[in-house]
Amino acid sequence: MFRKRGPKMTDDQHKPSTDRTDTAAKTVTEDGLDIPETEADNMAEDAETAFPGMDGLDEGMLGQVQEMMAKLERADELEKENADLKGRLARLATDFDSYRRRTQEDVNAAQGQGVSKAAEALMPVYDDMDRAVTMGAADPAKLIPGMQAVQGKILGVFAGLGLEATGKEGEAFDPQWHEALQVVPGDEDDVIVQVYQLGFRMGDRLVRPARVVVSRKG
């Protein structure tokens, strides 16, 4: 029997392949670097994943896109910080408004207490004045002493409130506390010779200037 022979192999088929290498196929980049095709494919996939539709960009443009994305992320962070600061500012404004309202309430309460205390101190003065007027109606000669007593009591009440009278006759004229309504000839300069209206001060603060007549030599 004759065996059937297979197709005859040519000399080229007997020769080992010289076109293949032991390493994987490589891709040459624009910079002249040899990158394995598998790694190049992975880089392309990464670029497509991070920036879809931008796989055709070169490295320079891709770097600009990445920088832009980083700036956008920073802008988002700044926007969140700005929102947080606005919230803190709103809370601070609310707290300050509450503090201002409480302070004003305390001031109003203190003023009310002060007015009440002053009125309470003046009530006995009113009672004395009422009695003086009643007695003067029956005997006018008693009216003046009674009113002088009331006047002294009022000055005592003012002193208790911290007020000090200023602008009396014979006192040296001081423009800080006195207002000169008229200047008349006299033996000395800047001496109060007549008082139209008594003035009051509280420490270093002027409450009401005294309205006076002042002398001037020659």
Domain ranges of the chain: 25-96, 164-218
pLDDT at residue 22, rounded to an integer? 44
Closest CA to 193 of 173, 208, 164: 173
The whole-number average pLDDT for the span 127-149 is 84
Of all residues in the chain, the percent with pLDDT exceeding 90 is 22
pLDDT at residue 40, rounded to an integer? 47
This prediction has a pTM of 0.48
What's domain 164-218's architecture? Roll (2.30)
Residue 59 pLDDT more than 90?
A: no
Please count the other Cβ atoms lying within 10 Å of the Cβ belonging to residue 16. 5
